[in-house]
Amino acid sequence: MNDQNNFLMAIVLSLAVLLGWQFFVTEPRLEEERARQQAEASISENTSDPAASAVRDAPQNDLAGEITPQAESAAPQVARTAVTAGFASAPRLSVETSQLTGSIALMGARFDDLILKAYGANADEDAPRQILLQREGAKGHWQAHHGFVAAPDSPITLPDEQTVWEVVGNSRLTPGAPVTLRHVTREGIVLTQNISVDENFMFTITQNAENKSAAAVTLYPFGQITRTGTPQLTDLFILHEGPIGFFGEEGLSEVDYDDLLSDGPVKKTATGGWLGMTDKYWAAALVPPQDSAFTGRFTGRTQGAGLPTYRSDFLLAGETIAPGQSLESTSRFFAGAKRVDLIDNYADEGVTRFDLLIDWGWFYFLTKPMFTALALFYSLLGNYGLAILLVTILIKLAFFPLASRSYETMAKMKKLQPRMAQIREIHKDDRQAQQQELMKIYREEKLNPLAGCLPILVQIPVFFSIYKVLFVTIDMRHQPFFGWVQDLSAPDPTSLFNLFGLLPYDVPSFLLIGIWPLIMGVTMFVQMQMNPPPPDPIQARMFQILPIFFTFILAGFPAGLVIYWAWNNFLSLLQQGYIMRRHGVEIELLANLGFGRKSAQEGGSNDGSDK
């Protein structure tokens, strides 16, 4: 029993560290980040300096300066200036799909204004729509653009941040109605960008350079995403937010914003892949031609006292265009919500391992199938909460033989408690003799004292995979269950400390001990009382306190996860109770809690003397 209890405690404490990290480390960090960003917003919004206002309301140039494909560079090196003159009044080209609305800035040919129609900034019904790409000059702007750079020392004058492109044909980009942007350089190089978009979030950009000059030119196609300011992060180790890319044989690369500032650029060369920047639910990603080698790079820098600027960019090999010839290059640009079905479809359509844009983690083989199962039952039931309950039942059925053997072992050990107690009493001063006699009983009864830990070992990976799915997939965002749970990916909003909303005051976040966490805690406590009690009184008391500890910790976790655990506990109670009855073991919860008397097999008297 000591081996079993020590092993069980090790598992429980390991899980407690995982759960405690969010409560004691992540939440304080989030509060600090919110306070920092609020302070930045306050300084930005309240300034009365006209010069500062001009900088805030106008773009900060990402396209300025001479740009050359030096050997150490993956894409244009940019010299930032304070303001792009005339940007605010420059013409724009509207974008409209079933999922997106916004515009493309003709000055600089920039994707810098996209709003997600189907997603609110929060769970309120009238919440403003989620902004993805944002114009320069706005707080936290995020933009992308494509173009060509020339060979070193080339005299060609390519478009810069002040270049206003001409629209040829359609003036509104919609699915099935592409647009074409055109610019002619002083030397007679005709540059065009043909831009199309699907019904969702993928743009296709076909760039063409026609050399109508008298001399050959060498051009390098590139794509670039720029983001100013560090966004608010969830700051959890199970989720990556920041620069991300997949680079052929090198695989997935995830870089933190602060590492770019402290450690410098990250550069990779590959054939097939993509790169960009991701938030928890949204992303912008560049997709170079999948059959061409490209050099990808992540950079980050801070100029003076300004906000940091981060970039993800790619550069393709250069091609020399003789007079009268042309160069064409087609790449794609994703900007939208990381819906699993769409991301998988883009991967199936040829974007190499685009499914890794969603952070399934190291346990991809668990988390992705878990989502697939939940999504399947959601399509049948129309409720992810019900899908979680059904998946839990299927998992219990799959592991029923294993769990049954474990509960049978625990039932037999509970039945042997009087003999074990007698051995401890006889050899109370000789622990070695105690262990020898206990091992003898285990051999006689063919028991494995560690078998009782198997249900917990099985539950841990399932717990983690459901937690991961609830946390990282936008499909779970704002999904209701029943009653008060309107978002399975958020904590239970009720609290014991205001009588679940009956008392007219709000409680601090650390006291939001809702109904589902309480149900989970009660079922966990009852289940522990059905197990053989540890021989050590301190251990026994600790195991009684653990449900309270887990109730407080899990109260801050997604409600869907707490519902899973409570439901799993309830099913385990039914299964364990049935097996104990079948083996003739009495279930004496009150006796285990110290109320009432214990049966004879627990060491109590049954001779009628206590009647």
The DSSP output letter for 25 is I
Non-local (6+) Cβ contacts of 281 within 8 A are 119, 337, 338, 474, 477
- Tokens at 442, concatenated: 């285990």
Closest CA to 313 of 76, 67, 142, 79: 76
SS (H, E, C) 28-67: HHHHHHHHHHHHHHHHHHHCCCHHHHHHHHCCCCCCCCCC
Residue range(s) defining the domain that contains residue 576: 370-602
Tokens 């790409």 correspond to what residue? Answer: 133
Query: CA neighbours within 13 Å on the CB side: how many for 113?
Result: 21
Whether residue 240 is found in the same domain as residue 188: yes
Whole-angstrom Cα distance, residue 576 to residue 570?
A: 10
Dihedral (CA of 508, 509, 510, 512) sign: positive
Q: Which of 357, 384, 408 is the last residue of a domain?
A: 357
- 313 and 444, same domain (yes or no): no
Q: Are residues 322 and 391 in the same domain?
A: no
Residue 545 domain-assigned (yes or no): yes
Cβ-contact 575, 404 below 8 angstroms = yes
pLDDT in tens, 518-528: 999 999 888 88
Region 438-463 average pLDDT: 70
Q: Give the residue from 84, 85, 107, 103 showing the smallest Cα distance to 94.
A: 103
Among residues 503, 509, 506, 465, the alpha carbon closest in space to that of 490 is found at 509
Query: Taking the CB of residue 109, how many other CB atoms lie within 10 A of it?
Result: 24
Q: Beta-carbon neighbour count of residue 422 at 10 Å?
A: 12
**297 and 426 co-located in one domain:** no
Contact present, 423 and 417 (Cβ < 8 Å): no
> Do 318 and 464 sit in the same domain of this protein?
no
DSSP assignment, residue 177?
Answer: B
Identify whether 5 is part of a domain: no
Contact 87, 71 (CB under 8 A): no
* pLDDT at residue 119, as a whole number: 92
Rounded to 5 degrees, what are φ and ψ at 518? -65, -40
Q: Find the mean pLDDT for residues 574-584.
A: 76
Cα separations in angstroms, 307 against 40, 111, 141, 331, 569: 10, 21, 11, 30, 49
**First vs last C-alpha separation in the chain:** 33
The confidence score (pLDDT) of residue 432 equals 79
Percent of the chain with pLDDT over 70: 76
- Looking at the structure, tell me whether residues 459 and 583 fall in a common domain: yes
The domain boundary residue, chosen from 335, 357, 379: 357
Pairing of strands 273-278, 242-247: antiparallel
Q: Could you tell me if residue 11 is inside a domain?
A: no
pLDDT band at 442 (very low <50, low <70, confident <90, very high): confident
Residues sharing a CB contact under 8 Å with residue 586, sequence separation 6 or more, in sequence order:
580, 599, 601
**pLDDT beyond 50 at 56:** no
Average pLDDT over residues 143-162: 90
As a whole number of angstroms, the distance between CA 463 and CA 567 comes to 12
Mean pLDDT over the full length of the chain: 80
Q: What are phi and psi of 493, to 5 degrees?
A: -80, -10
Question: What integer is the mean pLDDT of 217-242?
Answer: 90
Residue 59 has what pLDDT?
30
Rounded Cα–Cα distance for residues 373 and 162 (Å): 51
Let me know whether 303 and 378 are in one domain. no
Over 90: is that where the pLDDT of 600 sits?
no
Quote the tokens at residue 586.
Answer: 């009495």
Classify residue 27: in a domain, yes or no. Answer: no
Same domain, 73 and 126: yes
Spatial separation of the C-alpha atoms in residues 36 and 27, rounded to whole Å: 14
| Residues composing the chain | 611
- Predicted confidence at residue 345, as pLDDT, reads 96
Cα 485-489-491 angle, rounded to 5 deg: 60
The pLDDT assigned to 563 comes to 93
Give the C-alpha separation, 147 to 75, whole Å.
10
Please give the structure tokens belonging to residue 611.
Answer: 């009647």
Q: pLDDT digit string (tens) for 127-152? A: 899 999 998 877 778 999 999 999 88
How many separate helices (H) and strands (E) can be counted in the chain? 15, 20
Which of 230-244, 413-427, 445-459 is the most confident on average? 230-244
- Provide the pLDDT for residue 117: 94
Q: Please tell me whether residues 185 and 321 are part of one structural domain.
A: yes
Residues 398 and 339 in one domain: no
Greater confidence, 359 or 582? 359
Spatial distance between the Cα atoms of 83 and 80, rounded to a whole number of angstroms: 9
What are the helix (H) ranges across 121-222? none
Do 72 and 139 fall within a single domain? Answer: yes
As a whole number of Å, the CA-based R_g of the chain is 31
33 occurs within a structural domain: no
So what's the pLDDT on residue 171?
86
Query: What residue has token string 């997600």?
Result: 116
pLDDT score at 606: 40
Q: 88 pLDDT band (50/70/90 cuts)?
A: confident
What secondary structure does DSSP assign to 90-138, as a single string?
Answer: S-EEEEE-SSEEEEEETBTTEEEEEEEEEEESSSSTTPPEEEEEB-TTS
Q: How far apart are CA 392 and CA 462, in angstroms?
A: 9
Which pLDDT does position 378 carry in this prediction? 95
pLDDT at position 216 is 92
State the total domains in the chain.
2
Are β-strands 282-287 and 273-278 bridged in parallel, bridged antiparallel, or unpaired?
antiparallel
The whole-number pLDDT of residue 530 equals: 75
Residue 70 lies in a domain: yes
Q: Among 12-16, 77-81, 453-457, 557-561, whose mean pLDDT is lowest?
A: 77-81
Residues β-bridged to residue 243: 277
pTM: 0.78
Number of C-beta neighbours around residue 308 at 10 A: 16
pLDDT score of 116: 95
Tell me, yes or no, whether 523 lies in a domain: yes
**Per mean pLDDT, which range of 280-289, 352-361, 475-484 is the poorest?**
475-484
Residue 315 near residue 73, CB atoms below 8 Å: yes
Domain shared by 207 and 174, yes or no:
yes
At 64 the pLDDT is 33
Mean pLDDT of 92-102: 95
Longest Cα–Cα distance of the chain, Å, equals 116
pLDDT at 363: 86
| CA–CA dist 335, 345 (Å, integer) | 15
We report the CATH number of the domain holding residue 129 as 2.70.98.90
pLDDT at position 595 over 50: no
Q: CA angle, 39 as apex, 36 and 44 as ends, to 5°?
A: 130
Per the model's pLDDT, the better-predicted residue between 605 and 422 turns out to be 422
Mean pLDDT for 429-450 is 73
The rounded percent of the chain whose pLDDT value lies above 90 is 44
Label residue 172 left, alpha or beta by phi (over 0 means left) and psi (-120 to 50 means alpha): beta
How many Å apart are CA 181 and CA 166, to the nearest integer? 5
**Does residue 451 or residue 253 have the better pLDDT?**
253
Structure tokens at 470: 């609830």
Evaluate whether residue 2 is within a structural domain: no
Residue 3 pLDDT grade (very low, low, confident, very high; cuts 50, 70, 90): very low
Instruction: Name residue, tokens 């499909």.
Output: 475
H/E segment holding residue 88: none
Instruction: Report pLDDT for 356.
Output: 96
The DSSP annotation for 556-578 comes to TS-HHHHHHHHHHHHHHHHHHHH
**Residue where one domain finishes, among candidates 357, 383, 418:** 357
How far is it, in rounded angstroms, from Cα 115 to Cα 120? 10
The average pLDDT across 160-187 equals 93
Q: By three-state DSSP, how is residue 544 classified?
A: helix
